[in-house]
Amino acid sequence: MSHSLPLTIPDFASLPPVFYAATQPTPLQQPHWLAVNRPLATELGLPAHWQTEANLLALSGSLATYPHSPLATVYSGHQFGVYVPQLGDGRALLLGQSTSPDGRRWEWQLKGAGKTPFSRFADGRAVLRSSIREYLGCEALHGLGIATTRALALIGSPDPVYREQPETAAVLTRLAPSFIRFGHFEYFYHRGDHHAVRTLADFVIRHHYPHCADAAQPYLALFAAISHASAELVADWQSVGFTHGVLNSDNMSILGLTIDYGPFGFIDGFSHHHTPNHSDSHGRYAYRQQPYIVQWNLSCLGSALLPLAAEADLVAVLDQFVTHYETAWLTRMRAKLGLLQTRDGDRELIEALLDLMQQERIDFTLLFRHLADVLSDEPALPPMLASLWPYPPLFERWLARYRQRLRAEHSDDAARRTRMNRTNPLYVLRNHLLEQAIAAARDQGDITLIERLRQRMAQPFEHSDTDADLAALPPAWAADICLSCSS
């Protein structure tokens, strides 16, 4: 049996075999479709009836033979600040590559398809719980306009997988223009294989940053491009209250994509120190720390590029990250406040609001969404905003400053409200919603909420009367949700 997926040998296979290992997936028993992202399938140019038995087997890692062998790639990385010499695709396989009708190239990975040479002591599997989280997490960030890997299909199986307790297996089909990470460069640099570092850098420039080839120093230009993409990405995260949870250098994409959805979370009651990962007891990857950690990870990548560029030049690029990030963050936060002009004091106004939100643990998403209801010449507090504050006078003092700022640029209330509602989402993928979707799928085999969430998160800025519950404040029990890296 052969599949009909439009896959060719991936460009990555043109690299020398030192970069990967040809690996056959481990078949699942009784695989079945759990969820399919039909809009993405259309985007990829797949035919209407592509969900065949052969394609199900192909995407579950269960075909007897594949037209060309899937690949597991090798990389290393800094995990919680400690260098680990060899990691790699321990449960992910590069299945192939396709070109969508708009000309974009997509790599297809199977996540959870069994052991690879880089699994170390793990089983190479992914559990249903974490696979649902990543399937929905990818698409939620995409709906927000944030660079991310994508999720095409989720396949389940009754096969047992053992983590903290027995769970069932799942395989996620995820896509990206490239899955190359900072850690791919780190691996070869720390092994002293500088020729491989150059080979990989040339490959990345050729396929993903072709403009760098014409630069006076192509490898320095590559580092600058990756740094800029990373600054834009983390500014996006901060602007929507998204916390990745495990920002190890091996979880950083050279394309500035959000990758590897483990214990991620959107902030409910705001805190600069929010971390969704119960393993992160020291808050290394907390919300406020993310820009600093991204720059730290870039320093690890810069070190790996030392054979290709002068250290002083790499450091100069790294130093520019702060300016790139702060410019991107301020641009996004001004937009969240509906401000069109740049004025002195804007940073202080924004930071004062965030500090006040932390003091009262105000819901991040709903605060910014309902801030659009403020009128520049009307002192009354809009009802939805008032309902968020235990003690409104604290907020009203800040609101007076905000109204003064609006009047200073002659803000049109109606136009500003429209802009802000296109910038501040009403719906985000809160962890309690994920928990409910996981429980329904696991305990009742009910995938209705998975599809409902995917559809709603594809349009996070559009109000829907039928989805009011998805925009509500989280229930009290949501505060006890504790996430781990196990998947």
Positions marked catalytic: 250
Q: Which two tokens stand for residue 88?
A: 């790699």
Of 191, 288, 211, whose CA–CA distance to 243 is shortest? 288
- How many Å apart are CA 362 and CA 378, to the nearest integer? 23
Longest pairwise C-alpha distance within the chain: 70
Residue type, 331: T
Q: Which two tokens stand for residue 173?
A: 């089909």
CA proximity to 289, closest of 227, 339, 223, 237: 237
CA dihedral 44→223→12→154, nearest 10 degrees, is -40
Tokens of 258: 């959000």
Cα–Cα distance for residue pair 276/285, rounded to 1 Å: 9
The CA R_g of the chain, rounded to the nearest whole Å, is 23
Q: How far is CA 427 from CA 316, 353, 459, 480, in A?
A: 39, 21, 8, 21
Task: Kindly report the three-state secondary structure assignment for every residue of 125-136.
Answer: EEEHHHHHHHHH
Sequence length of the chain is 487
Residues 428/431/436/439 CA torsion (nearest 10 deg): 140
CA distance 238 to 333: 9
CB 111 within 8 Å of CB 92: yes
* Cβ neighbours of 414 (radius 10 Å): 9
Helix (H) / strand (E) element for 110: namely strand 105-111
Give the integer Cα–Cα distance in Å for 385 and 241: 18
Tally of helices (H runs) and strands (E runs) in the chain: 15, 12
Q: 50 is written with which tokens?
A: 């592509």
